[in-house]
Amino acid sequence: MGVRRGASVTPNDSPEVADLRHERDILAQAQELANVGAWEWQLDAHTLWLSDQAFRIFGHDDRVELVTRDWFLGHIHPDDREELWRSVEATSARDGRFDYSHRVLRPDGSIRHVRARGRVTEFDGDRPVTMLGTVMDITDETLLQQERDRAVVALAASEQRHRLLAENAWDVIWTMGLDGSITYVSPSVQRMRGITPEEAMAQAPQEIHPPESLARVGDYYSRLFQAIAAGTELPTFHGEQEYYRKDGSIMYGELDVVPQVDADGNVVQILGVTRDISERKRLERELNRLAHTDPLTGVWNRRHMEALLAQAIADARATGVTLSALMLDIDRFKQTNDRHGHRAGDEVIVELVRRVSQVLPRSAVLCRWGGEEFVVLCDRCSQAGAVELPEQLRQVVAAEPFEELGAVTVSIGVAQQREGDDVAAWIHRADEAMYRAKQAGRNTVVADGGPA
């Protein structure tokens, strides 16, 4: 029924199962492409679930049936185990977020550097019981960072070598005097930002960074100069920053800033290295889009919509906003596929999304729930208002015949969110109302509790 089939989809799968299998394939491929694995930790049972990519990061091509805490800690470098475990316990104790880089000791004796992130997702009362997170293999980046650190030391040791490396570096290398003036910018700034080194040296901070990035570097320099004045430990900077290009577009850069000191420990200048990561950020956005949208129509997929619905319920409890959910189902869609083929079915789904999107208010959210079913989240919408909108949707779908297929209609169920509802209960009522619309003859709208 309009499903783009992946490797694990079988001919006997229902549309819903096929959609779920295909979504799982996309997520698995995205994890492998980004070299990011997922994990879930049952704190009481001391057991973990790892995704296939997480097992590969830990050096296992095959899944392990039972992953215990001891199994997990046995794969952590001995020098990192104690601090890692303290971080996990501290996170679970304060309901915070876990973000820790450590080394993995693989069964073949090799060592990988990883970054683990997570947070507590389930509680039993005040007691945390489940943590969910990701693990990313950052070995290449870590080794590269170590190389860059060694390069920084080498640059500080010899002005001649500094100039030689800087003039030929792909990254932008720059130096700043203690008075805040830029004293050197390497030629690669022209490739990266479209301006000459001389133009870069003359720019004011607000001409270099958008406001948010400007605030971050401003805060760092304030802390750095305070530390210099107080004779305390000198902070360094590592983070992602936005830069203005000459044409006004935004370049994403990874910035490292290190104060350089002489043999007596006095700061003589500030050294910075900026790497263009714009392509990496574009790929990250694309992976995020693939993980959260329906590949055929481009609207949100069910997994992301469930998260949006859950957040909407939480917000409504805090603000009192009225919410309604609309469940749309294309009438006799199986007959369309049987008579005209799945390609025609896909075209119907795409055209339906186009028509519906033209009518929806900007505050409404549309998703493809599965197969020929769609869900609309109607924000600040009373029961009466939530029936007017689906009637408009029903009419815009049925108003004009679909090219080469004739008339296409939808049945729509409407359910207002009630106190105590979770996502499943709320959508179930909308689904039941939609089926009553089918029983009433199709091409109609039925609200939860009775006909529209």
Angle CA 270–273–277, to nearest 5: 150
CB neighbour class for 291 (10 Å; exposed up to 12, middle 13-18, buried from 19): middle
List CB contacts of 406: < 8 A, sequence separation 6 or more.
none
Q: 3-class SS at 170?
A: coil
Rounded to a whole number, what is the distance in angstroms from the first to the last CA of the chain?
A: 29
The CATH number of 35-137 is which of 3.30.450.20, 3.90.1150.10, 3.40.50.300, 3.30.56.10? 3.30.450.20
Q: Give the separation between CA 136 and CA 116, rounded to whole angstroms.
A: 6
**And the tokens for 354?**
């186009």
**Active site (annotated) includes residue 306:** no
Q: What is the pLDDT of residue 92?
A: 66
CA neighbor of 176 nearest in space, from 270, 305, 97? 270
> Which residue out of 23, 242, 254, 372 is catalytically annotated?
372
- The residue ranges of the chain whose pLDDT is under 50 are 1-7, 9, 450-452
Q: Do domains 35-137 and 141-282 have the same CATH topology?
A: yes
List CB contacts of 174: < 8 A, sequence separation 6 or more.
182, 184, 185, 186, 189, 200, 271, 272, 273, 274
List CB contacts of 401: < 8 A, sequence separation 6 or more.
407, 408
Q: What is the pLDDT of residue 5?
A: 42
CB 250 within 8 A of CB 264: no
Helix (H) or strand (E) holding 311: helix 302-319
Q: Give the separation between CA 202 and CA 245, rounded to whole angstroms.
A: 15
Question: CATH top-level class for 293-451?
Answer: alpha beta
Q: Give the separation between CA 408 and CA 389, rounded to whole angstroms.
A: 18
State the residue for tokens 């170590």: 146
List CB contacts of 227: < 8 A, sequence separation 6 or more.
233, 234, 235
Q: pLDDT of 378-410, one tens digit each?
A: 886 655 566 688 999 999 999 888 877 788 999
The CATH number of 141-282 is which of 3.30.70.1090, 3.40.50.1820, 3.40.50.300, 3.30.450.20? 3.30.450.20
Q: Residue 416: how many CB atoms within 10 A of its CB?
A: 21
Q: Give the separation between CA 63 and CA 39, rounded to whole angstroms.
A: 13
Q: Give the separation between CA 2 and CA 25, rounded to whole angstroms.
A: 17
**And the tokens for 144?**
């590269």
CB neighbour class for 36 (10 Å; exposed up to 12, middle 13-18, buried from 19): buried
Q: Can you give the pTM of this predicted structure?
A: 0.45
Strands (DSSP E) contained in 245-347 are 250-261, 267-276, 323-330
**And the tokens for 414?**
């409407």
Query: 121 phi and psi, to 5 degrees?
Result: -115, -10
Q: What is the pLDDT of residue 9?
A: 47
- Beta sheet of 47-50, edge-to-edge order: 67-68, 47-50, 36-42, 127-137, 111-124, 97-105
- What residue spans define the domains of the chain? 35-137, 141-282, 293-451
| Cα-Cα-Cα-Cα dihedral sign, residues 273, 274, 276, 277 | positive
Q: What is the DSSP track for 400-448?
A: SPBTTTB---EEEEEEE--TT--HHHHHHHHHHHHHHHHHTTSS-EEET
Q: Give the separation between CA 52 and CA 70, rounded to whole angstroms.
A: 19
Long-range (24+ apart) CB contacts under 8 A made by 275-280 are 275/171, 275/172, 276/171, 276/192, 276/251, 276/252, 277/240, 277/252, 277/253, 278/251, 278/252, 278/253, 280/252
Q: pLDDT of 63-96, one tens digit each?
A: 887 788 889 889 999 999 998 888 877 776 655 6
